[in-house]
Structures are given as structure tokens and as C-alpha cells.
Amino acid sequence: MTSSTSGGGRTSMTSSTSCGGRTSMVSIPDIRYLKGVGPKRVGLLNRLGINTVEDLLYYLPRRYEDRSNFTLVRDLKIGEYQAVKGKILTQGAHITKRRINVFQIALADKTGIIYCVWFNQPFLKKFFKTGQELMVYGKVEKYVKLQINHPEYEFVKTGTGSLNIGKIVPIYSLTQDVSQQYLRFLAREAIERFLFSANERLPAYIRARRHLADIRFAIRNIHFPVSFENLDKAYKRIVFEEFFILQLALALKKKKVKTGAPGIRHKLDAGLIDSFKKLFPFELTQSQLKAINEIQIDMASPKPMNRLLEGDVGSGKTIVAIYALLLTAQNGYQASIMAPTEILAKQHYVNISELLMPLGVNIRLLVSGLKPAKRLEIENEIKSGETDVVIGTHALIWQGVKFKKLGLVVVDEQHKFGVTQRHVLRKKGLNPDVLVMTATPIPRTLALTIYGDLDISVIKELPKGRYPISTYCASEDKRESVYNFIREEVKKGRQAYIVYPKIWSGKKAGSTYEVEPVSSGLKAAAAMYNKLQTEVFPDLRLGLIHGRMLVKEKNDIMKKFKDKKIDILLSTTVIEVGIDVANASCMLIENAERFGLSQLHQLRGRIGRGAYPSYCILLGNPKTETAKKRFYTMSETQDGFEVAEQDLELRGPGEFFGTRQHGLPELRFGNILRDFEIMEQARAEAFQMVREDPYLRDPRNIFIRDTLKKRFAGKLELISVG
Ligand code: ADP
Ligand code: MG
């Protein structure tokens, strides 16, 4: 479904191979071969992404206007957009006192007269003649008489049928110098001359089973629907195909992992879970136990595990991962866990070492910035197999890191990594088991698309004994009392975070803490650090952490905070992921309107981890509707799934994960939220097709196979068909 670049009549939609006894040699040409497209227009159309006639056929309207019914003049409603059909009674132009040229026609039907008025378009005069039949569409107003200013108009012609009025009319996205009327005209041209060559790619048996229209019906009706019912059918059909191809790719990818070269068959030890439980002073939650069980079943199977573990912040995913690490080590394989930041990797290292070292598991931390000698030492131990568990950052995927027997790959906060990074790590073993974890709960809608090739475990409950977090929204005039509140918490023995959107405001400063304070309106962490320490909390111990510090500095600060040598930690979003300090019960987020919903939720997840009531305060001034909605959602719910659904709705799927590289498919037609039901159907069909015809060799599936190959050419390295 990609568009080919412009250039001499290049084929883009049709495959020109012949297969299964059916030949399709028709080519769909460059847009310039269409009537009404001169060299200048070609450029304009290209700007809209329309290079070929096929692109135009698939250039879907943004919305539609129902102009199919004409209203009689006597029934017109003032203020509404309506269509009128009548005969031109009079026409003429005059110049007003203010030197505006007014061209006016009187249009009459059998019930009355309406005036159509254009300003400063004297040339219109020569288009209209009295007695002509005319259709107009626009907002009806009443001054002295009924009037429409600058209506859309179209003459009643016999033969071709109307294009702009008297039917359900498509409204396209435009660019400068391209009008709706022109695009409608072109779309009709393209349909009339080239629709016959649009190839049906969906097998007939699937169309029949799912009651889907054929492609030619769909294209015709997506532009010029005869009824809204037909429009629905057309839309469903086009979106289904798009989703189907996506799901087919996922199904094949999943199959490839499952039926490709076998993975490792880890041996289970029935007693392991009991001794594992004894490592903790608390009980594992039902969700954790369930996830552990799902994981060990996967690990015991010869098929490589490819599982996503999702659970809200603080739900205890790490422990589940640790079990998997232990099981791997017990089987004589190596395991590695990759985290997005050094602070987090370090934290895992400390916690995991504490638990597993006593059991004789060798653990190493591999991060960037190590002295070469140290690094070499660690790499050698990994290579020789002496190290059982390697914990690290991106440094893990470096070339020099070679495992002797890598059996398990865990990726923590995996949405912070790109698809390729995960892939590279996995390739360091021979089909190792893979567990990816995320604290951004994935709405089901997205889970089926982004992670459609993974099995999913969900941790639904938070550990027992957690106090809920109360979240409040406050504006600037409450600053004083917010500070007092924090002071009270600290007096009770708790600790607090204050989060800022930036380290320093304004341009990048020359020396580290040079600040341009109020200019951008953002509270900069570094600037505020000095101010708070000297003016507001001179008696308390403040700390500052941000992304531009050296790793060692960051680690030292985090350690101090953990050891309760810092009362209030000022930070940027570096603390967003994974940091776990149970005594911190209070978080103030400054300029909270600057943060996205999921990010606010992630930040908030740093508190509420201990047996204390916790408080999150959003300080800020939400001006836009969506910002207000974010504040509202935060104060209303603590459920990560609800937050995620809401976030997805506010930002749309494209923004939800921030960047493209996280695997969100680029969709041209469908919307995975709105069209979720179609996605489910397409998924069911795609997975069934792969079950029944794993290599898509069935002649009925040939066209879809070709389409798939073209669509994903070189993009999904794991997909190979045929
Ligand atoms: P996340 O899912 O956000 O990665 P963590 O694994 O960091 O959560 O766990 C958060 C905190 O909860 C840790 O301090 C961990 O020791 C603790 N924890 C995990 N499971 C339980 C449990 N079942 N009961 C009590 N505390 C738990
Ligand atoms: Mg975690």
C-alpha cells in the first residue's frame, strides 16, 4: 500500500507477476496521465502524497457532508448549511459605496427565492445566465432577504450526475491551491477510468466470511457513497484490508519465533518456587505467581519464550523477572537484564545481588563508562560463562559482549528501547527466551497491534499493604501551603520528590548552573535548588539530580536519598523510570501541565511504595482542555490502565509512545481505537490463515502474500514468507 514515487507511468498497485493461472498486467499510471492534471498540478498533488492514480483512489476523504437532499426555499432554516436547487431568475453586479464588487443572483424554486452573493469576484458574471438550473450549498442567512454568501455551486447537467451538490459529498484534506471541487473531479476521473484495474487482494472466501465488499465497490463508495450504509461497508472493507495485512505480518512473525529453530528447554524444579518465596519478607501477589507460572511454562517448552509482562508501576514486576533469572542460572545458562538507565540498572544490580548472590549466582553490572580494564574483565567473564547474570544498560548490546550460553533476555521498561535493540540482544544467544517488561500498561487495543506477536502476562494487583496515593491539583497561590505540607511530611520521617520539567530554563547555559529563571516560565530544577535550600528549607537536606550529571554523581545522590541522607530530592524526569525508595511518600510536580498523562503517572509511581499514605501534588496552570483533562484524570484514578486508556484517547495512538521506533504501525486508513472491532476480526482471520497455510502458498492467498511482501519489504527482518 505504499505509494511509488512519481515517474513515467510506474506501476504501484498491481503486481505484474502472473500466478495461479491468473494474470494481472494492468498498470495504474502516474497521476499526470489523468485529465485535468497539468505540470503545476502534479506538484500540488504530490504534496498531498498523491503521485499515482492509485494514490488518488486511496486518498480517503476526511469526512463527508450530506448534501443529498435539497431543501425547498420556504423550508430553509436560518443559520444551517443546506442545499437548494432552482432556476436563475436574475443576475447582476454592482459596486458598493465602499467599492466592493457585489455579484448576486436570485435563485427561485417553486416555493420562493434565495439570493446568492459573492464579493469581489466580478468574473463570475460570465458564468451564470438567467434561466439556467443551478444547485447551491452553503450557510443560509437572512438579512433583508434569504441569502447565502459564497455558496458552492454546480449547474444541473444531464448525463454525468452531480459532483458537489445533491449527494453525499466527500471532504478531503487539502493543500493550498487545490480545491475540494478539483479533487472531487479528479477522484471521479480516476474511478471512471482506472477503477477496473484496481486489484482485489483479499481472498474471496474471507470476504464472504466477513461480509466484506469487494475492492472496487469499496473505492467507489469511499469517495462517492450512494448511502451512508454503503460508506460504512466501503470503509470497513478498506480498513479491514489494512489491518489484515498488519496482523498477517504479526502472525507470521509469531509463527517464525515458535516454529523456527528450537530454543532452550529449561528444566523446572518443583521446589524452586517455595524456596524463592522464602527470599522475601512479604507474600507474592496472586498476579505475580500467575505470571511466574506462565513464564516457567514457556521456559520449559522447547519453543523460545517471547512474552510481555505488563503491570502498573510498583506492581512488582522485578521479582517475577528475578525468578526467571534464577531458573535460567539453575539450568546452567546465562541470563541478562537490560534497563534503560544506569540508575535503574544499578538499582537492579544491588537488589538482585542481595537476593541471588547468597544462592551462588554470579552477577555482574555492565554499563557504559567503565574503565577499559574493568570492562574487559567483565566481558571475559561473560564470555567464559563464569558470570551467570549480567545486568546492564544499552552497553549490553555492544559488539564486544559475547555470551557463552545466553538462555534468557529480560528487557525492563522495554518501551524505552527500540525494536532493533531488543533484537540485537536476543541475537547474542541461540534462540534464548525473551521477557520484556513494561510499566506503561498497554490498552488492549494497542497490545494487539504493537505487541501482536507476543504472549502477554498482566500483573493486575498491587502488593498488599500499599496505601493509596492521593493526588491533588494546585495553582501557584497554594505554593506556600504546598511547601509547608512537604515540610510536615519530612518531619514525620518521610522523604519527598520535587520534579521539574527542565534542569535550567532558557537556552543551554555555558556553565552548569547558570540560569535564566523566569523567562520561559518553567521552574528549573537547578535554579530552584539554590532558592529552596537557602530561602524555603534552610533546615532540611536537599539534593539535586538531573540527566546531565555524571553517572557517578547520579548514583551517589540516589544512594544518599535511599539512605535517608537527603530529605527532599529535586529532579528532572530522570527519576521517571524504576526508582524505588519506599520511604518517599510525597511528590510535588512543578509545571505539571507540561507533562503527558502517562508520564505523570510514571512519575507518581515513584511514591506510594511503602506503608505510608502518599501524596502527589500537581502544581500548575492547565490552560487547554486536554491539560485540564490530564489533571482531572490524575486526581480521579490511580489505575494505570485507566490512565493509559485516557492518555491514548487524548493523544491518539501515534503520540502515545512518543516515537515511531517503538513499533507502532503506520496506518493510513484505520484508527486502532475507533476501529478496534475490525482489528479483532482482521486478527482472527490473519492468524487462521497462517495456521492453515503457513507459507501462504495457497493460490487463493497469493495476492495477499504479494501485497504483504511489498508492504514490509526489508522492514521486518523476522518476517519471511514462502
Ligand atoms: P515495578 O513493577 O514498578 O518494576 P518493582 O518490581 O520495582 O515494581 O516493585 C516495587 C516494590 O514493591 C519493590 O520495593 C518490591 O520489593 C516491592 N514488592 C514487590 N512485590 C511485592 C509484594 N508481593 N508484596 C510487597 N512488596 C512487594
Ligand atoms: Mg520496574
What are the pLDDT digits (tens) for 387-433? 999 999 999 988 889 999 999 999 998 777 777 787 888 889 888 99
Mean pLDDT of 456-478: 88
pLDDT at 519 > cutoff 50: no
pLDDT for the residue numbered 598: 83
Mean pLDDT of the chain: 85
pLDDT for the residue numbered 515: 35
Residue 503's pLDDT band, with cuts at 50, 70 and 90, is: low
Residue 437 · residue 417 · CB < 8 Å: no
* Burial of residue 692 (number of CB atoms within 10 Å: 0-12, 13-18, 19+): exposed
**Atom of ligand 1 at shortest distance to CA of 351?**
16
* 3-state DSSP assignment of residue 199: coil
pLDDT for the residue numbered 426: 85
Q: What is the dihedral of CA 399, 401, 407, 408, to 10 degrees?
A: -80
Residue 188's identity, in one-letter code, is R
Which residues pair with residue 87 across a beta bridge? 108, 133
* 3-state DSSP assignment of residue 349: helix
Looking at all shown ligands, the one closest to residue 285's CA atom is: 1
Mean pLDDT of 8-34: 49
Across 331-432, the runs of DSSP E, i.e. the strands, are 334-338, 363-366, 389-392, 406-411
pTM above 0.85, yes or no: no
Residue 663's pLDDT band, with cuts at 50, 70 and 90, is: low
Q: Which of 580, 585, 604, 607 to mutate to test the pocket of ligand 1 (most atoms within 8 A of CB)?
A: 580
Identify the residue with better confidence: 573 or 288: 288
Q: Which ranges constitute the DSSP H helices of 224-361?
A: 228-259, 272-277, 286-300, 317-330, 342-356
Which residues pair with residue 363 across a beta bridge? 389
Q: Which of 310, 319, 562 to mutate to test the pocket of ligand 1 (most atoms within 8 A of CB)?
A: 319
Across 556-597, the runs of DSSP E, i.e. the strands, are 568-571, 584-589
Is 609 touching ligand 1 by the criterion CB < 6 Å? yes
Residue 566 · residue 560 · CB < 8 Å: yes
Is 313 touching ligand 1 by the criterion CB < 6 Å? yes
The tens digit of pLDDT for each residue in 337-356 reads: 999 888 889 889 999 999 99
Q: Helices 597-604 and 625-636: crossing angle, nearest 10°?
A: 30
Residue 517's pLDDT band, with cuts at 50, 70 and 90, is: very low
**Atom of ligand 1 at shortest distance to CA of 284?**
23
Residue 474 · residue 482 · CB < 8 Å: yes
Is 285 touching ligand 1 by the criterion CB < 6 Å? yes
Looking at all shown ligands, the one closest to residue 282's CA atom is: 1
Looking at all shown ligands, the one closest to residue 459's CA atom is: 1
DSSP H or E run through 300: helix 286-300
pLDDT for the residue numbered 507: 42
Cell of 226: 450512494
- Rounded to the nearest angstrom, the distance between the alpha carbon of 437 and the centre of ligand 2 is 8
Out of 183-192, 530-539, 600-609, 664-673, least confident range: 664-673
pLDDT at 513 > cutoff 70: no
Is 580 touching ligand 1 by the criterion CB < 6 Å? yes
3-state helix, strand, coil in the chain (%, to 5): 40, 20, 40
- Among residues 415, 435, 451, 461, the alpha carbon closest in space to that of 577 is found at 415
The single residue listed with the C-alpha cell 424554486 is 109
- Rounded to the nearest angstrom, the distance between the alpha carbon of 580 and the centre of ligand 1 is 9
Mean pLDDT of 256-278: 84
All domains of the chain in start order, with CATH: 1-64+182-199 (no CATH), 69-166 (2.40.50.140), 272-300+316-438 (3.40.50.300), 469-637 (3.40.50.300)
- Rounded to the nearest angstrom, the distance between the alpha carbon of 229 and the centre of ligand 1 is 52
Indicate which residue's Cα is closest to atom 9 of ligand 1: 316
- Intra-chain end-to-end CA distance of the chain, in Å: 20
Nearest-Å Rg of the Cα atoms of the chain is 32
- Rounded to the nearest angstrom, the distance between the alpha carbon of 357 and the centre of ligand 2 is 20
- Rounded to the nearest angstrom, the distance between the alpha carbon of 580 and the centre of ligand 2 is 8
**Alpha-carbon torsion 230, 235, 238, 244, what sign?**
negative
Is 599 touching ligand 1 by the criterion CB < 6 Å? no
pLDDT for the residue numbered 511: 34
